[in-house]
Amino acid sequence: MNPNKALWEKGDFTRIAETMRESGAELVAKIGIKENLDVLDLGCGDGTTAIPSAKLGANVLGVDIATNLVNAGNIRAKNEGLSNIVFKEGDATDLNELKDQSFDISMSIFGAMFAPKPFDVAKEMVRVTRSGGKVVMGNWIPGDPTLVAQILKISSEFTPPPPEGFVSPMLWGIEDNVVERFANAGVSKENISFDRDTFMFKATFSPSDFLDRLKNYYGPTMNAFEAAEQNGKASELYAKLEDLVNTQNTGNENSTLIPATYLRVTVSV
């Protein structure tokens, strides 16, 4: 199986995404999604940004590599009574089923950054976006002190080295790399802008429950715990992540409210 597909079909990312709903809705309003626009959400999961986009009246296609998340997205859309959105399985590096210039906005929020072949990802996102439209990405930032970058950093300390040729997804959080990738897709540097923004992980359960969701349902941390178990270091990994979520939580002991900084990329096509 495709390793990226295996990673995101592992566990159940919907259990994490449930804590991201409010920020997802705030983001789509912020980037100008509105009625009758054609929107692609790439690496959409179960619809954290795709479903709020449809609620604003856009015609939305959500594409994700994980079958379970596509199914979950379609169920959510049906339950919301939304007829202007569909979720389909697909690979961000090869959107061969999508025609050139099909969308007014092509976005990927913490999705396509995890796909291999980042230059192919940039080319495909530009290809399917109409002239005068835009590409929007949300990417975690390497070395950032806030939640997700630190989760991924800590997890990597307990997992085996990646295979030769592996390109870290975190490189999407470095502006020069983003410029290089979209320049290779034919976009001039002047048409690429960057903002630092914040996503909130928000839940009415405790930080320890949030950590248990990371441990049991989030592919990267699940892999880290499996490797740590084999090396007798699972308790060490748990302690590091426990300290992280408790330190960063701005809620109380019975609620989770944790900010995470990311790089918001806007590409004018």
Coil, helix or strand at residue 262: strand
Q: Which fold has domain 3-268?
A: Rossmann fold (3.40.50)
Task: Please measure the distance between the N-terminal and C-terminal CA atoms of the chain and give it in whole angstroms.
Answer: 34
What whole-number distance in Å separates Cα of residue 105 and Cα of residue 216? 34
What residue spans of the chain are helical by DSSP H?
3-9, 14-17, 21-30, 50-55, 67-80, 118-127, 147-157, 175-184, 207-217, 219-230, 234-248
Closest of 118, 123, 119 to residue 106, by C-alpha: 123
pLDDT for 80-107, tens place per residue?
Answer: 999 999 999 999 999 999 999 999 999 9
What whole-number distance in Å separates Cα of residue 94 and Cα of residue 3? 15
pTM, entire model: 0.96
pLDDT for 37-73, tens place per residue?
Answer: 999 999 999 999 999 999 999 999 999 999 999 999 9
Report which DSSP code applies to 183: H
Query: Can you give the residue ranges of every domain in the chain?
Result: 3-268
User: What's the mean pLDDT in 179-190?
Assistant: 98
